[in-house]
Homo-oligomer: A and B are copies of this chain.
Amino acid sequence: MIGLRPVLALSGGVGGAKLALGLDRILVPGQLTVVANTGDDFEYLGLHISPDIDSVLYALAGVNNPATGWGRDVETWTFMSELENLGIDSWFRLGDRDLAVHVYRTLGLHSGVTLTTVTEDLRARFRISSNVVPMSDDSLRTIVETDAGNLSFQEYFVRRRCEPAILRILVDGSASSRPSPGFIAALEDPQLAGIVLCPSNPFLSIDPILAIPGVIDAITNSNAPVVAISPIVDGKAIKGPTAKIMTEMGLPISALSVARHYESLLDGFIIDTLDEALAEEIARLGIAVETTDTIMKSVDDRTALARKTVELLVRLQRTGSQ
């Protein structure tokens, strides 16, 4: 029973958090570790903001806003509206409830504790049974090299609405960074049943996690199978700028491109039924392909996709141990 053994999921924001919720619901409590991208972290109004960690925490706690894909479900906006009255350019929207989490995190970090510790505190406060850990306790910042110059991730993503064309994506501070203790522990756990690359943006959300020195080696050295879920369905991104970025990078907008991007890491790949025609070509890369409905609208969709993911991990374990 795979649910009794640990599973590691690498996640960005919304899409990843949806699958993380599914995994959280179907696995034995405490067996899931979600590693969140922190390349999107930034300072705003004197606060340390970790958008992907919060997306995961809010999703697993069931307090996320499903309509916007970010922030809290029950929210007020008094703080932001008053800041606007005071003439502060509020390009990053902070709800009053959301704000409490940023203040909590910032106070913790200023007091000298690590992002891991603050995240663990928040996890406990939100009564989440899965582990939620940052990819690193070091300061890593995703920089987007665009035709409009180098932009920080939030500058590109929120302020410029992904409009500039991407030339290259860099992760500042990556070379000297280390994975967080919880990330390392999960990767090195001999009981690890599988590693899941969530259907997040491969370039902006998953690559920054893989860019931390030692992570790719640890994944490769692990006996656990690695499965990714395609964020591209029927030639379109489910959400966000993934498709646009692939065009700018000269890649066909296709689940096949995603499979090729991750190729050497993957044992298995889950594509949408709409992309069934691609299965054979992906299989030829030496990757086990599973086809299912991957668009997660309801909580049932999330648990169903999580179940398919775990089933594929089980199948690949058996294959690996044969």
Contacts and interface: CB of A to CB of B under 8 A. Distances in A.
Interface of A: 45-46, 75-76, 78-83, 85-88, 95-97, 99-101, 103-104, 106-107, 110, 122, 125
10 contacts: A45-B103, A46-B103, A76-B96, A78-B97, A78-B100, A79-B103, A82-B96, A83-B103, A86-B125, A96-B99
A166 to B, nearest CB: 31
Contacts of A122: 86
Given A46-B106, A107-B45, A107-B46, A125 B87 contact: yes
A97 B79 contact: yes
A250 B147 CA distance: 74
Nearest to A122: B86
In this complex, the member of A75, A85, A100, A107 whose beta carbon has the largest number of chain B beta carbons within 10 angstroms is A100
Contacts of A83: 100, 103-104
Contacts of A45: 103, 107
A286 to B, nearest CB: 47
A107 B45 CA distance: 7
In this complex, the member of A96, A101, A125 whose beta carbon has the largest number of chain B beta carbons within 10 angstroms is A96
Nearest to A95: B78
A interface: dominant SS? helix
Given A78-B100, A88-B104, A99-B99, 12 more contacts: A45-B103, A45-B107, A46-B107, A76-B76, A78-B96, A79-B96, A80-B100, A82-B97, A83-B103, A86-B100, A86-B101, A88-B100
Contacts of A100: 78-80, 82-83, 85-86, 88
A104 B79 CA distance: 11
A100 B106 CA distance: 17
In this complex, the member of A78, A85, A110, A122 whose beta carbon has the largest number of chain B beta carbons within 10 angstroms is A78
A100 B80 CA distance: 7
Contacts of A87: 125
A110 to B, nearest CB: 6
Nearest to A90: B100
A123 to B, nearest CB: 12
Contacts of A107: 45-46, 88
A125 B106 CA distance: 28
Contact of A125 (B76, B85, B99, B110): B85
Contacts of A86: 100-101, 104, 122, 125
A223 to B, nearest CB: 39
Nearest to A82: B100
Contact of A101 (B82, B104, B106, B125): B82
A225 B141 CA distance: 60
A160 B80 CA distance: 32
Nearest to A85: B125
Contacts of A110: 46
A99 B96 CA distance: 10
A85 B101 CA distance: 10
